[in-house]
């Protein structure tokens, strides 16, 4: 079963607001086995709206329109749909009574514009809007279903979840769609693809793989379609077991789990603690860890050692080390880690020092050069990375890489 979403509004096309409605609708449709094949945004213009509907009819059997149902003159969707489905607007007393009651509860007097919202196309099925004044409208024509709903997000969500999704379940027999996302860190997308190429080539025909990269993370989404949900879940789990044997060090979680949560769970289960010494990341590692409720059980604190003075005075990095090797060096991050362990008396320490950019790079140490060290009382590892030229991405990559180094080398 295929659907298309049409969002209506100049405010979206000029970038005044972001279309979050389509993401919500697509997610809800996917849960009941309906695939969204296209999302279109069109202006508040009759010809544009009609053309979008006609084009959607070639691609989908369910067409969902959001926006343009308010009481003002620029809201023209209802008039366009009445004309498109060759009908007229008629007064609906139930909608009128609801609008009147809703406005009265807000201390607003009903006027002619509010009364207009009680007029709906004669041949539509009204989808009652309990939380707003504009009702949803459902049409059926030529074995296709059309629904028009308000663009106000909380009203849209109400009609979709309380009215339209139940209608789909009652009306259509759809395939089951099962997703599972594998969260990976530490292997760039292209290298990851080569490493799992044979596994990918031998996936069952019912399963599709999508690569979803973002700075520091590559998500692998498996999607299975079929009639039996339990079988699809089992099929996916079998393939994940195979994948875990190929890239065990890269997989830290599933279904959008954050790496800081994975590290927190491991530390908590082992009754261990950590602290951080951050230069180029500026406290970002600390911010991620402390965003987790209960993180005080595993996290003692941080030194944001942005200057050499703090590296020396607080973390006891030798002045000779800083003078001879520089702040961004293997020797410096190792001494930062050792100083942190002694100062905070934790089980593990993370130290990071790098050139986040956009300035400060040299031929020897270009922007993006980053040293990361992880240590406990018995073991110390330090790794060099070249992350790139964008400051924000460098900070994020260094943060995630540091957490993953702790996970893979000390906690797993």
pLDDT by 10s per residue, the chain, length 412: 999 999 999 999 999 999 999 999 999 999 999 999 999 999 999 999 999 999 999 999 999 999 999 888 888 999 999 999 999 999 999 999 988 988 888 888 888 888 888 999 999 999 999 999 899 999 999 999 999 999 999 999 999 999 999 999 999 988 999 999 999 999 999 999 999 999 999 999 999 999 999 999 999 999 999 999 999 999 999 999 999 999 999 999 999 999 999 999 999 999 999 999 999 999 999 999 999 999 999 999 999 999 999 999 999 999 999 999 999 999 999 999 999 999 999 999 999 999 999 999 999 999 999 999 999 999 999 999 999 999 999 999 999 999 999 999 999 8
Query: 259-405: what fold?
Result: Maf protein (3.90.950)
| Confidence at residue 114, expressed as pLDDT on a 0 to 100 scale | 84
Q: Is the dihedral of CA 157, 158, 164, 169 positive or negative?
A: positive
263 to 253, 274, 277, 292, 355: CA distances (angstroms): 10, 10, 17, 11, 25
Give the Cα separation of 382 and 365 in Å (integer).
Answer: 16
| Confidence at residue 115, expressed as pLDDT on a 0 to 100 scale | 86
Give the Cα separation of 300 and 99 in Å (integer).
Answer: 55
| Confidence at residue 119, expressed as pLDDT on a 0 to 100 scale | 93
Q: 136-141 and 125-127: which strand pairing?
A: antiparallel
Structural tokens at position 186 = 């530490």
Name the CATH code of domain 176-254 (choices 1.10.390.10, 2.40.400.10, 1.10.3720.10, 3.30.70.2860).
3.30.70.2860
Q: Please state the domain extents for the chain.
A: 2-171, 176-254, 259-405
The contacts of residue 299 (CB under 8 Å, 6+ apart) are 273, 274, 275, 286, 289, 290
CATH superfamily of the 2-171 domain: MoaB/Mog-like domain (3.40.980.10)
Long-range contact pairs involving 165-169 (C-beta distance under 8 Å, separation at least 24): 165/28, 165/29, 165/31, 165/32, 167/138, 168/29, 168/32, 168/34, 168/62, 169/32
**Segments of 321-410 assigned E as strands:** 348-354, 369-375, 380-386
Give the Cα separation of 57 and 71 in Å (integer).
Answer: 28
Give the Cα separation of 280 and 398 in Å (integer).
Answer: 8
Say what the pTM is.
0.85
Please provide residue 334's backbone torsions phi and psi, each rounded to the nearest 5 degrees. -65, -45
SS3 content of the chain, % helix, strand, coil (to 5): 40, 25, 35
Neighbours of 303 (CB within 10 A): 22
Counted residue by residue, the chain has a size of: 412
Structural tokens at position 200 = 């990918």
| Confidence at residue 76, expressed as pLDDT on a 0 to 100 scale | 93
| Confidence at residue 112, expressed as pLDDT on a 0 to 100 scale | 86
**Segments of 161-206 assigned E as strands:** 176-184
């Amino acid at each position: 079963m295929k659907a298309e979403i049409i969002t209506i509004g100049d405010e979206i096309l000029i970038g005044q607001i972001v279309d979050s409605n389509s993401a919500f609708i697509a997610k809800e449709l996917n849960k009941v086995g309906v695939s969204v094949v296209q999302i279109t945004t069109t202006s508040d213009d009759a010809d544009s709206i009609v053309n979008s509907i006609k084009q959607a009819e070639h691609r989908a059997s369910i067409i969902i329109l959001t926006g343009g149902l308010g009481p003002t003159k620029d809201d023209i969707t209802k008039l366009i749909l009445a004309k498109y489905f060759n009908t007229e607007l008629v007064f609906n007393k139930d909608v009128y009574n609801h609008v009147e009651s809703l406005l009265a509860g807000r201390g607003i007097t009903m006027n002619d514009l509010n009364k207009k919202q009680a007029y709906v196309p004669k041949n539509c099925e009204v989808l009652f809007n309990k939380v707003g004044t504009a009702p949803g409208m459902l049409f059926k024509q030529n074995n296709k279903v059309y629904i028009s709903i308000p663009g106000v997000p909380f009203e849209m969500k109400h009609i979709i979840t309380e009215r339209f999704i139940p209608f789909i379940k009652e009306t259509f027999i759809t395939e089951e769609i099962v997703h599972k996302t594998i969260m990976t860190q530490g292997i760039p997308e292209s290298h990851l693809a080569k490493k799992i190429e044979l596994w990918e080539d031998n996936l069952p025909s019912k399963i599709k793989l999508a690569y979803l990269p973002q700075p520091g993370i590559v998500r692998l989404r498996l999607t299975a379609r079929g009639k039996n949900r339990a079988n699809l879940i089992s099929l996916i789990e079998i393939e994940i077991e195979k994948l875990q044997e190929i890239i065990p060090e890269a997989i830290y979680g599933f279904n959008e789990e954050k790496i800081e949560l994975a590290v927190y769970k491991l530390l908590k289960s082992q009754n261990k603690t950590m602290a951080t010494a951050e230069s180029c990341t500026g406290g970002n590692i600390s911010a991620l860890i402390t965003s987790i409720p209960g993180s005080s059980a595993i996290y003692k604190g941080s030194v944001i050692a942005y200057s050499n003075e703090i590296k020396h005075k607080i973390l006891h990095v030798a002045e000779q080390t800083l003078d001879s090797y520089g702040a961004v060096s293997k020797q410096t991050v190792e001494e930062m880690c050792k100083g942190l362990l002694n100062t905070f008396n934790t089980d593990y320490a993370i130290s990071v020092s790098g050139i986040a950019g956009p300035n400060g790079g040299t031929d020897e140490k270009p922007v993006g050069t980053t040293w990361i060290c992880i240590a406990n009382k018995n073991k110390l590892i330090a790794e060099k990375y070249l992350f790139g030229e964008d400051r924000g991405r460098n900070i994020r990559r260094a943060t995630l890489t540091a957490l993953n180094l702790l996970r893979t080398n000390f906690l797993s």
